[in-house]
């Protein structure tokens, strides 16, 4: 029979090995038997890393103690500093039977020297009433170095951990700028400029707004509006005094289908009644037709200036019954191609209406009586 290459037998997976627990020799915790080997290897690695880190920290504390010894001389306070920084070292020394009164030999490159201090020897000979040692200021070593460029003229700066990166009091809080709006001449100029840019006001709007501000500052007028809500309320109250625009759905056939377009318009008759009820326009209405003539040196030659100077108005008024005491109220409807209206992706010309009974300078204006 061929020899077996493996001298290790198979693992016996029985109820005892699967249910029994084994104790970790490093941390004392209980683990399953089939997992204790992997855990032990992890513990050994973790323990080795911890010892290495502890050795590095202990060496750093020894260097700090040597720097202190160079300033204050040999004393058991050096050992007290190390023990305060390393509780684990204090426990190890307690197990080894050493007290806290141990010094370090400065010329032995930080290697621990088991030489008892004077205080320790005095306590061993029975002198219990040893006077307390004075407090010694711990000199922290310089752990950071800042080297400046030779052109700067600054010397190399050595700092401790507590000093590094800490700005001086003068650099922590810069002085407040008393005029943050500079180079604007005033805070008001800066605020107005910021609002005008955010609102993208054009030149005409900027001039009108500045003119209003000047009138308010001079006391010629005042504004009672305080916020956007007051503005909307004022606009709603004003709109309630006039005939509002209403929406109309207009259906138009296009490529064998009906398309609906939204059109906003005012009832012409209601709009005309608003003009007639306005006391500021009463004196400007013209109700009777007129014929105008100009003498050219030989005779009078007729000319036309307003709608009521044309023959059509004259002829229509001539057919009105005299006993009715009636007059013409005429309207002019046209598409204003100078004002392009945009609705979504569709552009069109708005249809305007003017009252022909008002002079041209009023009906063509954007104010009261305009179309």
Concatenated DSSP letters for 281-319?
SGGG---S---EEEE-SSSEEEE--SGGGSHHHHHHHHT
Instruction: Report the pLDDT value the prediction gives residue 110, as an integer from 0 to 100.
Output: 42
CA distance to 56, 99, 123, 124, per residue, from 95 (Å): 21, 10, 20, 19
Give residues with Cβ within 8 angstroms of 371, minimum separation 6.
332, 352, 353, 354, 355, 363, 364
5 or 303, which is more confident: 303
**Both structure tokens of 187:** 């805070």
Residue 118 pLDDT class (50, 70, 90 cuts): very low
Percent of the chain with pLDDT strictly greater than 90: 23
Does residue 329 have a pLDDT over 60? Answer: yes
- 283 pLDDT tier (thresholds 50, 70, 90): very high
Q: What is the DSSP string of 92-122?
A: HHHHHT--S-EEE-GGGTT-EEEEE-HHHHH
Measured distance CA(141)–CA(167) in Å, rounded = 20
Q: Tell me the C-alpha distance between 279 and 220, whole Å.
A: 25
Taking the C-alpha atoms of residue 3 and residue 315, their distance in angstroms, rounded to an integer, is: 137
Q: Which two tokens stand for residue 270?
A: 């209601």
Phi and psi angles of residue 146, each rounded to the nearest 5 degrees, phi first: -115, 120
Average pLDDT estimate for 168-183:
72
Distance CA 21, CA 32 (A): 5
């Amino acid at each position: 029979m061929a020899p077996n290459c493996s001298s290790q037998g198979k693992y016996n997976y029985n109820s005892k090995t699967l249910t029994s627990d084994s104790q970790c020799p490093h941390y004392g915790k209980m683990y399953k038997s089939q997992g204790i080997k992997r855990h032990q290897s992890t513990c050994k690695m973790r323990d080795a890393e911890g010892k290495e880190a502890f050795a590095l920290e202990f060496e750093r504390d020894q260097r700090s103690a040597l720097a202190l010894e160079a300033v204050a001389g040999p004393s058991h306070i050096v050992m007290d500093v190390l023990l305060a920084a390393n509780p684990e070292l204090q426990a190890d020394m307690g197990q080894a039977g050493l007290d806290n009164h141990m010094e370090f030999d400065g010329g032995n490159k930080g290697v621990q020297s088991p030489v008892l201090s004077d205080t320790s020897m005095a306590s061993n000979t029975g002198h219990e009433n040893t006077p307390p040692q004075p407090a010694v200021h711990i000199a922290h070593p310089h752990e950071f170095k800042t080297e400046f460029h030779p052109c700067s003229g600054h010397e190399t700066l050595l700092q401790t951990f507590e000093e590094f990166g800490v700005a001086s009091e003068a650099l922590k809080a810069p002085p407040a700028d008393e005029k943050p709006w500079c180079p604007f001449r005033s805070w008001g100029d800066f605020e107005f400029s910021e609002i005008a840019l955010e609102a993208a006001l054009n030149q005409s709007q900027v001039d009108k707004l500045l003119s209003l501000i000047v009138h308010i500052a001079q006391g010629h007028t005042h504004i009672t509006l305080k916020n956007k809500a007051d503005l909307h309320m004022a606009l709603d109250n004003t709109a309630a005094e006039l005939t509002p625009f209403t929406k109309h759905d207009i259906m138009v056939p296009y490529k064998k289908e009906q398309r609906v377009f939204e059109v906003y318009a005012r009832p012409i008759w209601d709009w005309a009644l608003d003009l007639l009820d306005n006391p500021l326009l009463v004196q400007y209405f013209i109700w009777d037709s007129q014929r105008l003539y100009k003498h050219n040196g030989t005779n009078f030659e007729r000319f036309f200036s307003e709608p009521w100077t044309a023959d059509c108005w004259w002829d229509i008024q001539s057919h009105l019954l005299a006993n009715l005491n009636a007059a013409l109220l005429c309207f002019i409807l046209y598409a204003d191609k100078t004002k392009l209206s945009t609705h979504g992706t569709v552009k069109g010309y708005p249809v305007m209406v003017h009252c022909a009974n008002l002079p041209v300078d009023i009906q063509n204006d954007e104010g009261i009586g305009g179309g």
